Structures are given as structure tokens and as C-alpha cells.
Chains A and B, each alone.
Chain A
Amino acid sequence: MSIDLKTVKHISKLARISIDDEKANKLKGDLNNIFEFIEKLNELNTDNVQALTSIAETTLRFRKDEIKSENIREKILKNSPEENKDFFVVPKVVE
């Protein structure tokens, strides 16, 4: 199989990365090379193999649902790209 330009553009839309035509063409070539390499897996019959879901073979731990952090509002907002002491600011989403 091969990945065409339309698919590259569709994936870039899903990944929320805008790309121009020149980049899309370059990516098309790269992705096709990489997928050609990946297709090797089809040599293997895996019908009766269970997919590996966790390498660590442990179950997730439970913990008490307690508030441990002090007031971290300021810390969380500290790296905000646009200054505003109380909120994260984004472009208007509601008309």
C-alpha cells in the first residue's frame, strides 16, 4: 500500500499540524519509506497471539482520594503563554 497526498493532508489535520504542499510531498515520501519498512510485520502470522498491553505485569494501584497539593493555582498559570492572572486565554470560541 502507499500513502497518497490526500492521506498525508488528512493525517496532518487529525494531528493538528498545518503543512504546506511542499512539506506534504516530502512527508509523503518519508512516510512511504517508513511504512514499507514497517510492512515487514505482515510476514508474521499473529492470529493466535495475545497483544501485549502492559510490559510491567502489575495492576494499577489504588490510593485514597485525598487533596495533597497546597494552593497551586499560581504555579499552574505561571507558564501561561498569554498573561492573565486568573485564566488561560485562548482565541474566542463562542460567537
Chain B
Amino acid sequence: MSDITSQSLFELTSNIKEKKLSSEEITKAFINRAEKSKKLNIYVTDNFEKAIDQSKKFDSNPNLDFKLPGIPIAVKDLFCTNGVRTTAGSKILNNFVPTYESTVTQNLWSQGAILLGKLNCDEFAMGSSNETSFFGNVQNPVGENLVPGGSSGGSSAAVAANLTPVTIGTDTGGSIRQPASFTGTVGLKPTYGSCSRYGIVAFASSLDQAGPMTKNVRDCSMLLEVISSFDQKDSTSIDYKRNYYSRELSKDIKGKKIGIPKEYRVDNMPDEIEQLWKNGISYAKDCGAEIIDISLPHTNYALPTYYIVAPAEASSNLARYDGVKYGFRSPGQNLIEMYEKTRSEGFGDEVKRRIMIGTYVLSSGYYDAYYLKAQKVRQLIKKDFDDAFSKVDAILTPSTPSSAFKIGEKTNDPVSMYLNDIFTVPINLAGLPGISIPAGKDKNNYPLGLQVIGKPFDEQNILNISYALEDKINFKNDISDWWLSE
């Protein structure tokens, strides 16, 4: 049997079900590795002691009908966990201990999973490199001083470094798919309304979705099956019949029509990414898929639209952090001064920048010029996809315009940081499901991802296409464990 921490979720669940491994053995193996991996700065808060207790409890009376029987899982620190500190990577929530559980994490525990701890992320999920976290940047296990992507950077790094078998992240403009691409892992953003937003620290409510981050496509299907559910507590949760994604997973994609949007061929895109895309196209053909050239004419307008809509929603969502009922408080002479000092000291620079953008575009006299304009362009972007999906079953693109970059490389230029999300943002604006799978490496040996975009609620289809491509690509991450300490 291979080393416990390098096993996939599928292998671990099989080993538990066949009684070859106990939950305690698995849990301790991941904890042991985490203790030696502090250099990566992946955990914000660990739950190790309780996790071991829970694993023993599971082993004493194992329920093997569960989908995640006794499997330890660490989650992004954006999910509220009852009794376990939840910070959203921010000073303003540094001392916040929720008294309730998010629906998607509850779904994990209801299927037998055990909380390992909370993973670092960009502050309030605002960032593409995990460098905006109050708890410091995360190291990408792929190479020293590389960013792991963001905002789910602790999550992507944790999966790549074998610190958790799988994890869940959140994706508002690419925050699952971009870090997955940077770390050679799989990340799926489900259709808007698929996974409940209840108990997730809100960033931009019309864009936020939780989703699985895993080592491979099969694990991704297993985890999506657990976390996707209709929830009365989220008014935008959609009641539809969800697939048994793992059971219906199939490599047979013969006759599937896959669209290639010409607008995703952007200026200055490295040749390697162009090549990666071509390879993906030829693999899809090998699998019997039909390749169709399509156009998504408003692609170039997606990022500017996103940088109005997301900050606008964020500025309203983050209005709740006023130092009154919970979180950090900086004392003031009067109420207004307390608010202003609390928010000035409690939020980091990127969060403040976005609150300022959002406040401006929603302010009197500017609403029509910015926010309303953006909501109109968002309609056009959505229509592009509606038109495309009348001709094709899925769309194949690169996940990101580059591989992982160096820590500090883009921190002084917000716009260049935002450009990271150029291929992922349109999918959130249109509410569609998208998955990033590792598809190759650049000249530095850093991973690169391909993105498969689907119709609303068609996660099964993009999982199947990814499953077929994954088989052909046969990606190996070969991470050297350079960070391990004794």
C-alpha cells in the first residue's frame, strides 16, 4: 500500500471500507505530515486533537455506509465551523468562533468526515495569490517562493502537499480553479445555486460558490456528490435533482460537442499555454468528441464587469463588520469613530481597496454609469454562453493565462493581479459550472491547467469530459517535499 497521505479519497475510503486502514491511522498520518509542513503556512487553525478523538470514536463503531467514512478533511477558512475559529483570513474576524455550521461543511460531517482544521486563504477571498491573508502568504508545494494561487491558496496547497485528502474551497471569480491550476490539482466551481452559501463568509453573493478541490477527477465527483444539496437556508439554493456524480462518472464522451472560443486566445499568452490547449483539443478528439469553433464576443468585458459587480456586492456584504456584535473592535470616542477605526485597522489593503471601489460605484450619481452598466454587460456575457451552448455541450479553455508566479511579483499592481482571472471570471458572471484539471507543465516544470465549462446543472458532463481528458493527459505532479522538517 502506498503512503497514506498520498492516497486519493477513493483509495482511502476503499481502504476504510475493507478495514485495511482505520480512521485513526489516516487522521494521524495527515496530522503528522502537517506538523512537518509548517513552512508552507497552510493552516490558520488546526483541529488536530479533536480530530483524533473523533477518528477513535468513528473506529469504535464505524458506519461504512457513509460516503466519507472517517475521512479527515481540512477546509478553507471561509466556512463557518461550529466551535472552531473562522477568520476568513482577516484580522477583523481573528477572534470569531461561530456558533453554527455552514451547510456544505455539515454535509461533509453528516457523511462521516472529520474536521482536520481551517486552511489559509486571501482575506475575505479577495486575491489571486493568497498574499492578502492576515496570516501571511502560503508557499506553493510545487516550488519554493511560488504563490499557490488564490483565494483558495491554502486549500490548493494542502491538496498538492498531501496535507488533506481533499478539500473544499470557494470560487467568486476563479478562486478554486486558478489555485488548482497553479498546484497541479483538480478544482470545480459548481453551477450557481448548486451548493448552499449558508454559513460561508460572504464576498460577492451573486457570484460565490463552494466547490471541491481534489487530487483527481473521480475524487472531485465523490466530493461534489456530498456537498451539493438543496438548502432552505440559502434563498438562492436551487431545488433540482442532483446526479450521483461518482456513480455516473464515465470516460465515454464520444460525440460530445466541445466548443473552442477564439476570444480566449489572448495577447501575450505564453506559447506553452497555447500548446497545452492544442493538446487538450487533440485528446478530446481522440476520445471521440467533436470540436467546434465558437465565439464568446464579450469575453474581454468580463473582467471590467467583474471589478464593478464583485466589489459592489462586497462593499454591502462587508458593511456588517463594524465592531459591534462580533469580531475585532478598535475603541473610539463615539460610535462613528469606533466604526471607522475598527474597519481601518481590521481590514487589509486589498479588502479596503475593493470596499472603496464598491462604495464608489454604488454611490449617488455613479450607480447608472457603473453598476447598472455592468449588470447590462453581464447580461451580454451570459447571452454569449447561452448562444454557444445552443451549439455545443461544453467549452474547453486554458484555466489561467500563466503558471504560478513568484511571491511578491504582482502585489504592487492590482490590475496585473486581476488579469490572472481572465479565463475564470466569465463563468462566475454567467453562473455556470467550470472545472480546472492539471494538463501539463511549463518550462519551469510548474503545472498548467485546462478548464472545462458546462451548461447550468451539467456538472456530470464536465466531470466526464475531464475524466476522459485526465486519462489521456496522465499528469504527474512529482513534488519533492522540499519544505518538510523533522
Contact = CB atoms under 8 A, between A and B. Distances in A.
Nearest to B325: A88
B192 interface: yes
Contacts of A63: 232
B480 interface: no
B468 interface: no
Contacts of A43: 301
A31 B353 contact: yes
Contacts of B192: 55-56
A66 B278 CA distance: 57
Contact of B343 (A17, A56, A78): A17
A17 B323 contact: no
A34 interface: yes
Interface string A23-38: 0000100110110011
Nearest to B232: A63
A7 B361 CA distance: 12
B236 interface: yes
B382 A55 contact: yes
B145 interface: no
Contacts of A71: none
Given A16-B322, A41-B374, A93 B335 contact: yes
A12 interface: yes
A53 B344 CA distance: 31
Contacts of B415: 33-34, 37
Given A52-B376, A91-B334, A40 B356 contact: no
B99 A14 contact: no
Given A17-B340, A75-B99, A51 B356 contact: no
A56 B238 contact: yes
Contacts of B370: 38
A61 interface: yes
B431 interface: yes
Contact of B334 (A7, A8, A60, A93): A93
Interface string B289-319: 0000000001011011101100000010000
Given A61-B235, A90-B338, A81 B344 contact: no
Interface of A is mostly: loop
B336 interface: yes
Contacts of B332: 91
B307 A37 contact: yes
Nearest to A63: B232
Given A56-B236, A81-B329, A88-B324, A17 B356 contact: yes
A95 B377 CA distance: 49
Given A44-B380, A51-B372, A91-B334, A27 B356 contact: yes
A16 B193 contact: no
Contact of A56 (B298, B352, B431): B431
Contact of B315 (A7, A15, A30, A60): A15
B255 interface: no
B378 interface: yes
B107 interface: no
A49 interface: yes
Interface residues of B, number: 69
A81 B382 contact: no
B120 to A, nearest CB: 21
Given A11-B360, A14-B359, A15-B356, A44 B377 contact: yes
A42 to B, nearest CB: 8
B208 to A, nearest CB: 11
A33 B327 contact: no
A54 B238 CA distance: 13
Nearest to A75: B99
Interface string B173-192: 00000000000000000001
A81 B327 contact: yes
A38 B308 contact: yes
B254 interface: no
Contacts of A52: 375-376, 378-379, 382
B206 A55 contact: yes
A16 to B, nearest CB: 4
B99 A50 contact: no
Nearest to B235: A60
Contacts of B238: 56, 58
Nearest to B318: A15
A24 to B, nearest CB: 10
A4 interface: no
Interface centre among B343, B344, B356, B418 (most CB of A within 10 A): B356
Interface centre among B322, B359, B374 (most CB of A within 10 A): B359
Contacts of A56: 192-193, 236, 238, 431
Contact of A41 (B301, B327, B331, B355): B301
Given A27-B356, A44-B377, 4 more contacts: A11-B363, A18-B340, A54-B206, A79-B99
6 contacts: A17-B343, A30-B414, A50-B379, A51-B375, A55-B192, A56-B192
4 cross-chain pairs, A with B, having the tightest CB-CB distances, nearest first = A79-B326, A55-B431, A51-B375, A81-B329
